[in-house]
A and B are shown apart, each in its own frame.
Chain A
């Protein structure tokens, strides 16, 4: 089944403790992206990647890192999480020549 998977789905952590949220897709998509969803703000893009080893900042990149060492994986790294990063995070992917994105199930992160 074609899908985007994220792990973990739920995470509660404390300020300053490094964490990684994984994202993997099995559709051979070139493009991958991370969004955060906050009430009243919709989805805002954090980082995106056009292909392996090619990443760029979205609208709200501060406090986040990404890497794209393999085509199928695009982990989101929070080196020193803070409470304002409490949010619902979505990974998405698409083919390079398509604007239709496929979304993962979301990761609900709480930073205390």
Chain B
């Protein structure tokens, strides 16, 4: 079965610091990759997605992620975080054609200090 690992459970940064959140998945074939964000008290929103093509994908709010197939990774980055980026971030993976669709990581709580 597919599994997704997010190694950082809680990250604390000061405003303007750079962010990188790790995500690794287990499936060796073609995958679709997602990052979702959950702001406090809100539902999950899609930050960005990768299906194919350029492995560097850009999402909303200045986030980007890089797909490295050889490392089974899809790390999320942002050059300069803001207090409003405080949220929980989930990496998710899908095997194309899978009826089960998304498998989520355990999430990373990001706290940005003003």
Contacts and interface: CB of A to CB of B under 8 A. Distances in A.
Contacts of A56: 99
A18 to B, nearest CB: 26
A50 B105 contact: no
A44 B101 CA distance: 11
Contact of B104 (A31, A44, A94, A100): A44
Interface string A68-112: 000000000000000000000010101000011101111000000
A31 B101 contact: yes
SS class of chain B's interface: helix, strand, loop or mixed?
loop
B17 interface: no
B43 A104 contact: yes
A103 B43 contact: yes
Size category of the binding interface on chain B: 20 to 34
Interface string A22-56: 00000000010101000011111100101000001
A43 B105 CA distance: 7
Contact of A48 (B45, B99, B103, B107): B99
Q: Is the interface of A mostly helix, strand, loop or mixed?
A: strand
Q: Give the one of B32, B44, B100 with max A CB within 10 A.
A: B44
B44 A90 contact: yes
Interface size on A, as a range, is 20 to 34
Contact of A45 (B34, B102, B106): B102
B96 A100 contact: no
Nearest to A94: B101
B69 interface: no
B43 A99 contact: no
Contacts of A45: 100-103
A103 B106 contact: no
